[in-house]
Structure 1
Amino acid sequence: MTLDLTVAIPSHNDNGHLTRLLSHLAALKFTRSIIVVDDGSLPAPDHDTLIKASGLAPAQLTLLRQPQVAGAGAARNRALLHTTTKHLLFMDADDLPTRELRALCRSLAQAGEFDFCMFQHHDSRMGQSGQWGQMAFDQSLWDKTELNHRNLSEVSTTDAACLAQTANYPWNKIYRTDFLHAHRLRCSDTLVHNDIALHWKSFLRAGRILSSARIGVTHFVTPGGNRLTNRLGAERLRVFEPLEEIALEISVENTPKSPYALAFFGFALGLLCWVNESLDPSLRSELAQRSTAFFNRYLSRSMRTQLKQQRPDDWQRAAKLFQLTV
């Protein structure tokens, strides 16, 4: 039994890495369909050229094009609209799947219905020091659960709230396509920070979550350059759009969603501190003002006390930057 799976790939001016990824997918043979959404690349990739270079069957690859750059989030949303398989995995053009991902897909095909399965990954920055696996912060969150050494496991609400605080990547989850459609889950249309809403809303709305300690993807991080993820200007201030969406949803929900509240606002503390460090210095004053307003709007006194106790480093930095008090 195999998983009925589509791999969806946004790509922008990355035809070399895209061809490499498609070649690996062709060799591993774990996906029925592949959708590439080209995001305004110059030159644009060509379907026949990609097929010839990768070894994929022509009918296996769908190539869509956005004539103007709209961002990876918009590209993923478009791919979702064209997905006809039961399950969906997003990947970046410069990611690489591992054999462990193929093994995971075989296990998931026999796991019954699930909304999504989150798996571990290898970060190229770890490889620079000869290590294999995730960045230390993400790994520490997995280590706090009982899931870190299990190839496939059900995820409790407590453990899910812990895993939700990892980096909000879209390519470390295999989704049930109908789950995404039923709950209208999409990426934001922002050029950066477009995966926050998809990540958190998936946790908030899922019924059955699975996890796997298998390392399914190698993720490559390249500092500098013209990649959208390296933009440090005013587009970073749109981070408040998805943060407000999630904060509002958490604020109106009672149990069992409430365990996510502390997790989310702790994540927001760390994220906004990171944005401040990487942002154009001329924009930091505006970021501080908007961050202060955001936390004052949503954080109760008891929540502030808990955050100070559970995430002391993030709280100390945020309190100084954004004038937060308990």
Structure 2
Amino acid sequence: MAKISIIIPAYNAAQDIGNALDSVLKNKSDMDIVVIDDASSDDTCSVVEQYMSRHSNIRLLRNEANTGPGVARNRALMSIDSEYCMFHDADDTLVNGAVDILTSLMDRADVDFAFFNYFILRNRGAVLEEGGIGAEGTWQDALGGQELAIVELDKAPNLLLMVNYPWNKIFRTSFIRRVNLRFSTARINEDILPHWVAFMHAGRFLAVNRKLTIHSLIAGSDQHTNVYDERRLAIFEAIRETESIFERNKVFRDKYYHLFLYFKAGLLGWALSRVRPDLRRIFDEHVTHSYRGFTDEDFKRIYQHSPDLALTILKLKYSPAGLATAA
């Protein structure tokens, strides 16, 4: 059994997958590196196969049809047998030794997962930016100025509002199996579901305020951040799958649903800026439908935390006109 599995979904990533693999391979840990190709039409598989000829710990899975990154990751998850699991993107790179650092920290911590800070790369060859813009206060509140801390969610619930990336976390595989952690089948925002599942089920986790990965957000690329067409509407499927957790679990609903409503309003406001004008009417209809389940009890609970947001969401239940304000 490998110490850790690194799952890398790839789609038309021939230009970047080599750099991603190089950064993963710069670790001494016993790694099972799983690249799952999502029916690429370029030379992604050929590049990976060249690496496989030199590194026996790299595996390649192939999807016959393009499924999206969530479904691809879920398939790869079914194939692993390791102590730990990390997700990595095909166009990202790890800081040298990141895997070794994280597995060592997890070995010493009695937690089911850890999350860590990151850099942002907006243009190839550009200077790295600080990751988690706007989250500095949340990091400080959770860690009390320390670089490492085991944090209890109920003492730092605003961590739920941090961006729901999958590639800045490391999990015990046994935890993934126990809580049935998976990604949404939605093609965009598929990572909302595992973010909320992981935090709420774990309850306590290791926070590592060290930048251990470099996430690419290249303007003009085909990354999901830059999608403005019909694919953006998949956000509502991702939200619906996540909200179903609160419908099934009263404890989670009572303790955290008001935070999810806050998160949801901000997320939809962000998505609104990434919808083509000709899709706005359809997007608005989805917004109204998405808030139909907002109850009087939900209103009272969120009103205690943020009266303005409670009133905005109540308006959104009947009209999406206030969405920009909610963001």
Q: Under a length normalisation based on structure 2, what TM-score does the superposition of the two structures give?
A: 0.85
Distance apart, 1:305 and its partner CA: 2.4
Aligned-pair distance for 1:161?
Answer: 2.5
Q: Distance in 1 between matches of 2:49 and 2:322?
A: 56
Residue 49 in structure 1 maps to residue 68 in structure 2: no
Is the counterpart of residue 116 in structure 1 residue 113 in structure 2? Answer: yes
For the 8 Å contact 2:143–2:151, the answer to whether it is kept is: no
Q: Work out whether residues 120 and 214 of structure 2, in 8 Å CA contact, stay in contact via their aligned partners in 1.
A: yes
CA shift, 1:212, in A, is 1.1
- 1:74–1:322 Cα change, 3 Å: same
User: Per-residue deviation at 1:24?
Assistant: 1.8
Confirm or deny: 8 A CA contact 1:161 1:259 kept in the other structure.
no
| Equivalent pair of 2:11/2:40 in contact (CA under 8 Å) | yes
Summarize deviations over 1:60-100 as a string: whole Å, max 9, x none: 01111112211111111111011110110000011111136
Residue equivalent to 2:138:
141
Q: Quick one: distance in 2 between partners of 1:187 and 1:306?
A: 32
Q: Which residue of 2 aligns with 1:294?
A: 290
- For 1:222-261, what aligned pairs fall within 5 Å after superposition? 222-255=218-251, 258-261=254-257
Aligned match for 2:104, one of 88, 103, 106 = 106
What is the DSSP-based 3-state SS (H/G/I as helix, E as strand, rest coil) of the residue aligned with 1:170? Answer: coil
SS of the counterpart of 1:216? Answer: strand
Deviation of the 1:308 alpha carbon:
3.8
2:82 paired with 1:81: no
- 1:232-279 CA-to-partner distances (Å, cap 9, x unmatched) read 222222222232233232245344663321221111000000111111
* Cα separation, 1, equivalents of 2:277 and 2:314: 20
Question: What are the superposed Cα offsets for residues 301-324 of structure 1, whole Å, 9 maximum, x if unpaired?
Answer: 224524645869x97997984458
Query: Taking structure 1 as reference, are residues 14 and 128 closer, same or farther at Cα in structure 2, changes over 3 Å only?
Result: closer
Output the CA distance in 2 between the equivalents of 1:129 and 1:44. 24
Look up the SS of the partner of 1:298 in the other structure. Answer: coil
Aligned to 1:20: 19
Where does structure 2 lack aligned partners over 5 or more consecutive residues? none
CA distance 1:140–1:129, shift in 2 (3 Å) = farther
> In the alignment, residue 186 of structure 1 is paired with which amino acid?
R
Give aligned pairs, total.
Answer: 317
The CA deviation at 1:201 is 1.4
Q: Residue in 1 aligned with 2:158?
A: 162
* Gaps in structure 1 of 5+ consecutive residues: none
2: CA distance, partners of 1:17 / 1:44? 9
3-state secondary structure, aligned to 1:210: strand
Displacement of 1:207 in angstroms is 4.5
